[in-house]
Amino acid sequence: MSIEDIIANGVVEAVEALYGLKTEAGTVQIQQTRKEFEGNLTVVVFPYLKASHKSPDATAAEIGEWLKANIEAVAGYNAVKGFLNLSVSPRFWLSQLHSIAEDADFGIRPVTDNSELVMVEYSSPNTNKPLHLGHVRNNLLGYSLSRILEANGKRVVKTNIVNDRGIHICKSMLAWQKWGNGATPESSGKKGDHLIGDFYVEFDKHFKQEVNELMAQGMSKEEAEAKSPLMLEAREMLRRWEANDPEVRQLWKMMNGWVYDGFDETYRRLGVGFDKIYYESDTYLEGKELVLGGIEKGMMYRKEDGSVWADLTADGLDHKLLLRSDGTSVYMTQDIGTAKLRYQDYPIDKMIYVVGNEQNYHFQVLALLLDRLGFKWGKDLTHFSYGMVELPEGKMKSREGTVVDADDLIDTMIAQAREASAERFADIDEAEANEIARMVGLGALKYFLLKVDPRKNMLFNPKESIDFNGNTGPFLQYTYARIRSVCRRAAEELATCSYAEAVPNDKECALIQKLADFPGVVADAGRNYSPAVIANYCYELAKEYNQFYHDYSILREEDAATRCLRLNLSAVVARTLKSATALLGMEMPERM
């Protein structure tokens, strides 16, 4: 039982014994004691004043005295204006450390066959360009969220919907036909996704040139864009694709295959993956079928031009287009079709879409439409809405080729980690140094992107993220490596020594309390869908340990029981850091 539960139950007994008040443990307000006051945990006593008929301080003192006399874990108390600050006995913290050390999966709830099934969708790339910095944040958030939900005892299915059809895909295909000269990833020496992305940029360059020429002839920008021969060709290619034209389909399969190979390599380097991948080319027809069926049931309606719409005004929204007048699908249609296939494949209890906040309205509409169409989880779907990520240089524009490419970013982070760690790698062979640099570079990237509240826009600074001091991934990794070094040097003693007779000091008690917080942190991160909660806990734990390491000797401590306590405490901190950072997708090097 956690110390919070022990105290909550004690307060329930105390107020009944002192004031005849019956209450529930879940209503007891407990929080961490503020650093300027003595104590470990604070109980808010204002809810009990009506029953005590006494001042806040007098009530707090009476409850504190009762707890000290009757709850073994409570060593002392002080009352400050209606707040009861409780000091927990060192012996209790010692027993907590032993319990934590004995539980290899401390803080992680087991997944069972009866656990709630949660599906998490993330990544959702287009096959006309490589993954970029925005995709990196999306993938890291989705993967971390999946790990956190699993740590909360959920069964999780990680899914990806690949947007492999549409006018944007045809733009790259048409550009390759016109200016590609038969280029392949092998002949060009480029990853497939990069090669296709180059042709997407090439299309846009020629398209803008045509538009400018037409505007010079007197057309408005809108007219010029609509009558651009290049855009008309791209739309014709899309029409041929939807008509199953064999030539267009063959080109589409070949170029998409190049892209998938490129994506897989980037996913592998990022350390993310999926249990099931869906493709828009498979799901959009399912969506069309559901939408057309919705017309017959009066859920949707068709306009005179043949387009199909949903009237959502009764729900405070507007009319939503579901099929264009030429019968082609929109993103909403695809998402409806994907939902149908997913529901057939899995008995989903909860669906979470990891998509940027520019799509908030889209998911409001999708939830309503799925509910209308009979998907039981539809109205309760969760849009994990996150903010955009930018660089100091400003926003990214994929059509202009100014995006921050994911592969280039990974290479840069690893190179900067290697450069920042050059002195540390002096005695390490080349292969190990490269592997550590990879872990540190990616750890820096992941931690920097995940430590921020996902709902906020953020500025990513690669150089700042590599710092070995402060709130960074390398700081956590260096703390872990430092502890592992200490444990290796005392491995024999650590395996056999006893700390049963040790009396932990205030700093050691504070560190054990921080360890004991881990299960609550994991639960909080799962409730709020926030990897940032885990990241901030990791930083606080590492910071607390480093202060302890600075203030107290471990290997040179003369008292055997105290030395054993500090060794075991260090080992548990390292294990907890590794367990917590794994929820962020980070790897922890054994030495640095």
pLDDT in tens, 175-202: 999 999 999 999 999 999 999 999 999 9
Q: What SS3 class is residue 42?
A: strand
The single-letter DSSP state of residue 350 is: E
Return the CATH number at 489.
1.10.730.10
> Which of 73-87, 88-102, 233-247, 380-394 has the least mean pLDDT?
380-394
pLDDT greater than 90 at residue 311:
yes
Q: How many CB atoms lie within 10 A of CB 186?
A: 9
Question: What one-character-per-residue DSSP string does 85-108 give?
Answer: EEEEPHHHHHHHHHHHHH-TTTT-
For 236-295, what is each residue's pLDDT tens digit?
999 899 899 999 999 999 999 999 999 999 999 999 999 999 999 999 889 999 999 999
What is the count of structural domains for the chain? 3
Question: What one-character-per-residue DSSP string does 184-215 give?
Answer: -HHHHTS-HHHHHHHHHHHHHHHHHHHHHHHH
For 196, the token pair is: 């296709």
Q: In one letter, which amino acid is 76?
A: G
Q: Which of 273, 299, 321 is at the close of a domain?
A: 273
Q: In one letter, which amino acid is 339?
A: A
Q: How many CB atoms lie within 10 A of CB 510?
A: 16
Considering the domain architecture, whether residues 170 and 36 belong to the same structural domain is answered as no
Return the CATH number at 71.
3.30.1360.70
Considering the domain architecture, whether residues 82 and 172 belong to the same structural domain is answered as no
Structure-token match 């901190």, residue found: 573
Angle between helix 531-551 and helix 506-516 axes, rounded to 10 deg: 160
pLDDT for 463 equals: 81
Q: What is the pTM of this model?
A: 0.92
Residues 479 and 545 sit within 8 Å (Cβ to Cβ): yes
Please give the angle made by the CA atoms of 559, 499 and 501, to the nearest 5 degrees: 80
Query: How confident is the model over 191-214, as a mean pLDDT?
Result: 96
The tally of CA atoms less than 13 A away on the side-chain side of residue 308 is: 22
Q: In one letter, which amino acid is 408?
A: D
- Tell me which residue range forms the domain holding 232: 166-273
Q: What SS3 class is residue 243?
A: coil
Q: Is residue 19 part of a domain?
A: yes
Considering the domain architecture, whether residues 65 and 184 belong to the same structural domain is answered as no
pLDDT greater than 60 at residue 589:
yes
**Residues pairing with 42 in the sheet:** 31, 85
Q: Which of 239, 273, 307 is at the close of a domain?
A: 273
Residues contacting residue 500 through CB under 8 Å, at least 6 positions apart: 94, 561
Considering the domain architecture, whether residues 82 and 193 belong to the same structural domain is answered as no
Query: How confident is the model over 311-340, as a mean pLDDT?
Result: 91
Q: Is residue 405 part of a domain?
A: no
For 376-408, what is each residue's pLDDT tens digit?
888 899 999 999 888 776 544 444 445 688 999
Q: Is residue 345 part of a domain?
A: no
Q: State the pLDDT confidence band at 308, using cuts at 50, 70 and 90.
A: very high
Q: Is residue 376 part of a domain?
A: no
Q: Is residue 308 part of a domain?
A: no
For 476-513, what is each residue's pLDDT tens digit?
999 999 999 999 999 999 999 999 999 999 999 999 99
Q: What SS3 class is residue 355?
A: strand
Query: How confident is the model over 522-540, as a mean pLDDT?
Result: 97
Q: Is residue 361 part of a domain?
A: no
Question: What one-character-per-residue DSSP string does 171-185 give?
Answer: HHHHHHHHH-TT--H
Q: Which of 44, 70, 88 is at the close of a domain?
A: 88
Q: Is residue 220 part of a domain?
A: yes
pLDDT greater than 90 at residue 35:
no
Q: Give all strands of the β-sheet with 382-386 in edge-to-edge order.
A: 276-279, 155-162, 117-121, 350-356, 382-386
The average confidence (pLDDT) of the chain is 94
d(CA 588, CA 22): 49
Q: State how far the alpha carbon of 300 is from the alpha carbons of 19, 59, 370, in Å.
A: 62, 63, 12
Considering the domain architecture, whether residues 474 and 568 belong to the same structural domain is answered as yes
Share of the chain above pLDDT 70, in %: 98
Q: In one letter, which amino acid is 515?
A: L
Q: Is residue 534 part of a domain?
A: yes
For 545-580, what is each residue's pLDDT tens digit?
999 999 999 999 999 999 999 999 999 999 999 999
Residues contacting residue 541 through CB under 8 Å, at least 6 positions apart: 514, 515, 573, 576, 577, 580
For 322, the token pair is: 């579901």
pLDDT for 421 equals: 78
Considering the domain architecture, whether residues 80 and 228 belong to the same structural domain is answered as no
Residues contacting residue 406 through CB under 8 Å, at least 6 positions apart: 130, 131, 132, 133, 135, 136, 266, 270
d(CA 236, CA 242): 10
Q: How many CB atoms lie within 10 A of CB 177?
A: 14
Considering the domain architecture, whether residues 67 and 204 belong to the same structural domain is answered as no
Query: How confident is the model over 84-98, as a mean pLDDT?
Result: 97
pLDDT greater than 70 at residue 93:
yes
Q: State the pLDDT confidence band at 157, using cuts at 50, 70 and 90.
A: very high
For 220, the token pair is: 């408005």
